[in-house]
Chain A
Amino acid sequence: MANLADLYQQVIVEHNRSPRNFKKIPAATHHANGDNPLCGDHLTLELALDGDVIREIGFQGSGCAISQASASLMTAAVQGKTRAEADGLFHAFHDMITGGPDAPADAAALGKLAAFSGVRQFPARVKCAILSWHTLHAALADEPTPVSTE
C-alpha cells in the first residue's frame, strides 16, 4: 500500500514551506515555462550560465507541495553543475520516480533528491515531481514553448 509518509517526507514539506531559489535571475541567459494546465501547476525557471556551468538558477510559480519542493530541491541540486551533470541528475531522478532502468541502485546517491523516491507509489503525482526537471531541460535546450508533463 502507498504510504503518505513516503510521499510527504519532511524535507519536501519543509522545501514547500520555504522554497530555495524562489527568485528572478536578472542576468539570466536561459529561461523556460512549465505548466500542467489540468493541475494548475505553473513555474518559470531562469538560469545564468557561465560557459557550461549553471552559475545561478531561480524559479517562480505556484503549485502543489510536490511540484514546489521539486523545483526548490532541483535548483539547489544543479547550481554549480555543468549541463552534462544536470542532465545526468535529470535522468537519474526521472528513473527513480518512474521506476525506470536508470534508477540509481541506491537512491541516496541523489542526495536530498532521494526524498522523492516515494513518488513512485503515487503515479498520479509523478507529473508534479518531474515538471521542474522538464522545464530545466527545455531552458537549457532553448525550447521556446512551455513544457507540460501531463
Chain B
Amino acid sequence: MTATRAAAPPDRARAELARRRADFPILGTRVHGKPLVYLDNGATSQKPRAVIDAVSRFYETGNANVHRGVYALSEAATAAYEGARAKARRFVNARADGEIVFVRGTTEAINLVASSYGRAALRPGDEVLVSAMEHHSNIVPWQLACEAHGAKLRVIPMDLSGDLLLDEFARLLTARTKLVAVTHVSNSLGTINPIKDIVARAHARGVPVLVDGAQAAPHGPIDVQDLDCDFYTVSGHKMFGPTGIGLLYGKAERLAALPPYQGGGDMIRSVTFAKTIYADPPARFEAGTPDIAGAVGLGATIDYLAGLEWDAVAAHEADLLSYATARLLTVPGLSIIGTARHKASVISFVMEGVHAHDIGTIVDQEGVAIRTGHHCTQPVMEFFGVPATARASFAFYNTRDDADALVAALQGVRRVFG
C-alpha cells in the first residue's frame, strides 16, 4: 500500500501476478464487444474462482444455521463460520477471535459503533472528530449519534494535496473529544493517512480511534495491534470477497463496554419479559442469522490472499500508480485531484470542460469501467471545487495495459468534446 516504493516489481513477481489475473473469471469477459478493463476496484473488487466456488460449495454441501443445531451439518456450518472468524482475526492480526464481529460491511460496522458507543459515551457538549476526506459512511452515522446525544461533529482539515493537517488535528483534540473516526485510505483521493501517528496522538489524550479500513484491506493485510486503533472496519467485497459481509474489529475491552446494536436471536444469554441478559462479544453484536455463506466466502478470500506476496503486490501497485499517473497527465486538459505524499493506487481526475459522467459513458464504450461522481464524498468535492471526478482505482490484478486502455479511451472524450 505504500506508494513510496515506486520501483517496478521484479519480472518473476510480475509474471506471478499476471498469472493471478486468470483466477478472476470476470476479467476474461467482454463489454460492448471489448475486453473488460476493470478500474473500479474502489467501488467493489472482482472475485477469484476460489471464493466463488467456496460460496457455491457451502450452499451445495454445507448449509445449515449456526450456533443452534445439534446435528452434524449445523455443527459443520458453525465450525466453518467460526473458522472464518479465526481467519479474519489473523488477517487483521487481532489478539483474539472474540474481537472480530461479522457485519454486512464497513457501513454497518461504523453504524454499530456510532450507535452503541454513542449511547455508552456521548453526552451533551462532547465532540467527535472526523476528517475532511471521509466517505459519507464515516460522517452520517456520527452526525446521527451526535444529534441523538447533543454532541458536536468537528472536522480535521486537509490541504490541497489531500494530506490531513495533523497540527490542526492536535489542536482539535480536547477534553471534549470522545472519539476520532478517520479513514485509513481515502476512497476519492487515494491518500494513505498516518494512522499510527493519529492513534498515538489521540491515545495520549485518552481518546479512542475508529479506522475505516474499507479501502486499505484490498492492498494488504492489516495489523491492528501495530496501529493500536480501538476499532477497525473492513468490507469483504472490496477485498475480493463476497458482498454483504464485513468485519468490525474492536479491542476486547472496547467491545465489552458497548451495549448491543440490534436485538434478536443469538445475541442473548437469557431472555425473560422482565429482563434480558446479553451475550458477550462478538455474539452480542450478531443478532439474527448472519451471512454464513458470506463469512465462509470471506474466509476463502483470506486463504486466497495468503498466497500473494504482498511486497510484490505493493511494488506492482506503486508501479501502476506512477505509470498511470504519468500517462493520464499526457491527456490534454486532464488534472488529478489528490496528490498526497503517500497514495494507494487510486487516481481521481477531472477534464477541462467535460463532466465526469460524460467521461464515464464514453470510456465504457471501450470496455473501460471507472467510477464517476462524488464517490460518496461530497465534502471532498466541495473542498476541491469540482462537482464530480472520474476515478480509476487499481487492484493487484490490473496491469499497465489497463492504464493504457484508459488513456486511449480518454482520447475518445476529446474527440466528442474537442
Contact = CB atoms under 8 A, between A and B. Distances in A.
Contacts of A122: 361
A61 to B, nearest CB: 10
A4 B412 contact: yes
- Most chain A Cβ neighbours within 10 Å, of B362, B412, B416: B416
A4 B365 contact: yes
B361 A1 contact: no
Given A1-B33, A13-B416, A66 B358 contact: yes
B244 interface: no
B373 interface: yes
A23 interface: no
Interface residues of B, number: 20
A144 interface: no
A65 B417 contact: yes
A8 B373 CA distance: 19
A89 to B, nearest CB: 25
Contacts of B373: 38-40
B379 to A, nearest CB: 13
B32 A1 contact: yes
A55 to B, nearest CB: 31
Given A40-B373, A64-B355, A2 B32 contact: yes
Interface string B369-380: 000011000000
B358 A64 contact: yes
B354 interface: yes
Contacts of A40: 356, 373-374, 381, 387-388
B357 A2 contact: no
A32 interface: no
Contacts of A13: 416-418
B354 A65 contact: yes
Interface in A88-138: 122, 124-125, 128
Contacts of B354: 65
B307 interface: no
Contacts, number: 52
Contacts of A64: 355-358
Contacts of B365: 2, 4
Nearest to A17: B353
Contacts of A63: 355, 387
A24 B343 CA distance: 43
A16 B418 CA distance: 12
B361 A7 contact: yes
Interface string B336-363: 0000000000000000011111100110
Given A4-B412, A65-B355, A124 B361 contact: yes
Contacts of B361: 4, 7, 122, 124-125
A148 B68 CA distance: 47
Contacts of B353: 17
A4 B355 contact: no
A6 to B, nearest CB: 11
A39 B362 CA distance: 16
Contacts of B412: 4
Contact of B387 (A2, A62, A65, A125): A62
Nearest to A16: B417
Nearest to A62: B387
Nearest to A124: B361
Nearest to B353: A17
A1 B42 CA distance: 28
A124 B357 CA distance: 10
A19 B355 CA distance: 15
Contacts of A128: 357
A2 B33 CA distance: 11
A8 B354 CA distance: 12
Interface of A: 1-2, 4, 7-8, 13, 16-17, 38-40, 42, 62-66, 68, 122, 124-125, 128
11 contacts: A4-B362, A4-B412, A8-B416, A16-B417, A17-B353, A38-B373, A38-B374, A63-B355, A64-B355, A68-B355, A124-B361
Interface of B: 32-33, 353-358, 361-362, 365, 373-374, 381, 387-388, 412, 416-418
The 6 A-B residue pairs with the shortest CB-CB distance, nearest first, are A64-B355, A64-B357, A40-B387, A40-B388, A8-B416, A65-B358
Given A8-B416, A39-B388, A62-B355, 10 more contacts: A13-B417, A17-B353, A40-B373, A62-B387, A63-B355, A64-B356, A65-B354, A65-B417, A124-B361, A125-B357
